[in-house]
Amino acid sequence: MILKNRYPSTPSLNKIIVLAIATGSFTSFADATEEKKTYTKPPFAAFSSQMNDALLGSSKYEKPIWNLHDALKLPEWLSMSLEQRTRYEVLDGQYKAGAKGGDQQIPLQTDVFMEAHLGDFRIGGEFMDARQFGADSGSGVNNTHVDSIDLIQGYLAWADQNTLYSGLGTEIIAGRQSLNFGSRRLVARNVFRNTINSFDGLRLRVLDYDHWQFNAFVTMPVNRYPTSSADILDDQSQFDRAQGHTWFSGGFLEMYNIGWGINSEVYLYHLDEGDTRKNPTTNRRYFTPGMRFYIKPAKAAFDFSWEGIGQFGTVRANTNSSNGRNLSHTAWYQHLDIGYTFDVLWQPRFAFEYDYASGDKNPNDGKDERFDTLYGARRFDYGPTGIYGAFSRTNLNTPGYRLGFSPLPDVQTTLAHRFFWLAQSRDSWGSSGLQDKTGRSGDFIGQQLEITTRWDVNSSLNLETGWTHLFKGEFAKHAPNAPNPQDVNYFYVQSQFRF
């Protein structure tokens, strides 16, 4: 008989017994119970540091030393957490078309999450208040910076760790939820950004422990309101709503250790976008297939990650609903990194990285070839977003290298240096709005140097700081409507409390 753990919250005795029975060995049971526990350091992302996994348990992250559950003496069937992040960020110099001077902002993010466990069922809700202070009409504030007091998750879920005694775990989540798949380049729960993507719909997850995992979902992306800078600066607040005429769906298969320690992912996403009165769109109708192979970093070993993504469909030239002209869309993206972790003091890992995201060869041929990153995150590849966010995953040709090391057990420092060219010189530098349709401004955007340091004070408090410098190249200095040619400096410091 296979035992079943219906309420996973810590590494469970039942689960160890299940694994022992499955492998036919009870000698590993004693070793597992005596093994010293290690934890993955939680990211700077609201709620994810305490996110339970109904099929694998919640032991991935260390329990916060200060936590509301214990302080309020809540019952075991009720989870509750509070997180608060404060960041100060300042920008000296500009890279966007027509922009002048510098900028600064104090983004605040406060998140409350609650979940009730009722047998195999869960009811969860997450409220977030993301706002900013210090911006003005020239700051370009938008709904990636602010989403005041709104529901970003509200769901009913069911999970069974051993469905019909098959050895498979199954989970179904219905309602508003955040999604986070694979490398997070196409679908991500945002970490650095002040607001978080969420979706209304249904998700199915099937897990064959230690072998493979499959996710399928059908959702409507949730729009954050208000959208205009004037309304945001005026502190107006509106409830977020799903984009009723837009559907985002897909399937994602992960396979673990297919040979030589290599893991793989195969996926297909479909976006069918439509207009509403409050949210005109470019009517993106894309199929996006992709695959990824990777080996996780380990001491005294090489690791790598390769991801290739295609994209095809149609898209409108602009958001004008009276423009019925659809452009044929064909685009692609690839990422490669190869690293090595040294088994010496500070445990440094050095990695070479390369990304290519297609751009539009000819702006007048009725075709669109610019890669679209859908609902992905970009901070881990291209540096901080916030009021900086100079690079996005489109029309880019960018090699670079990265060095990470830990001078102290609870301190992590990273140095990243990348060079940026336009993939197509006649297409735009996506994040800047700069474009030279003649191609005469060249294709070298510049090089970016980034240094970040993070200190995990304890399991409830993290501190982080970072500096990024953009050395402008020919295109960034001389493209039409380019701002002052001076280089750009971005600096931030932030704290995050978890309770």
d(CA 412, CA 250): 35
Which residue has better confidence, 118 or 317?
118
How many residues appear in the chain?
Answer: 499
Determine which of 10-24, 98-112, 237-251, 422-436 has the lowest per-residue pLDDT on average.
Answer: 10-24
Q: What is the mean pLDDT of residues 435-461?
A: 95
Average pLDDT of the segment spanning 138-154: 91
What is the maximum alpha-carbon separation in the chain? Answer: 72
Mean pLDDT for the chain overall: 88
pTM for this predicted structure: 0.89
Q: Are 217 and 179 in contact (CB under 8 A)?
A: yes
Chain position carrying tokens 């003091």 = 345
Whether 124 contacts 153, CB under 8 Å: yes
Please check whether residue 397 is in contact with residue 362, taking contact to mean a CB–CB distance below 8 angstroms: no
* Mean pLDDT score, 108-130: 95
Q: Provide the pLDDT for residue 2.
A: 37
Rounded-to-integer distance, Cα 322 and Cα 318, Å:
10
Domain limits, the chain: 83-498
- 83-498: CATH topology is Porin (2.40.160)
Cα-flanking dihedrals φ and ψ of residue 49, to 5°? Answer: -70, -15
Residue-level pLDDT at 200: 98
What tokens does 401 get? 């290298």
Q: Categorize the per-residue pLDDT at 285 as very low, low, confident or very high, splitting at 50, 70 and 90.
A: very high
Give the residue from 85, 190, 74, 76 showing the smallest Cα distance to 143. Answer: 190
Q: With 80 as the cut, is the pLDDT of residue 33 above it?
A: no
Helices 13-23, 27-34: crossing angle, 10 deg rounding: 150
Q: Percent of the chain at pLDDT above 90?
A: 72
| pLDDT for 359 beyond 80 | yes
**Mean pLDDT value of segment 285-314:** 97
Q: Which of 206, 118, 213 is nearest to 156 (CA)?
A: 118
Amino acid 139: pLDDT: 85
Residue 173 neighbours by CB distance under 10 Å = 22
| DSSP 8-state class, residue 49 | G
Determine which helix (DSSP H) or strand (DSSP E) holds 247, and give its type and residue range.
Answer: strand 247-259
* Element holding 368 (H helix, E strand): strand 367-368
- How far is it, in rounded angstroms, from Cα 442 to Cα 474? 6
- Going by C-alpha positions, the residue among 248, 325, 335 that lies closest to residue 282 is 325
Q: How far apart are the first and last CA of the chain?
A: 39
- Joined tokens for residue 345: 């003091």
Q: Which residue has the higher pLDDT, 52 or 147?
A: 147
Instruction: Categorize the per-residue pLDDT at 16 as very low, low, confident or very high, splitting at 50, 70 and 90.
Output: very low
- Rounded to an integer, the average pLDDT of 341-348 is 96
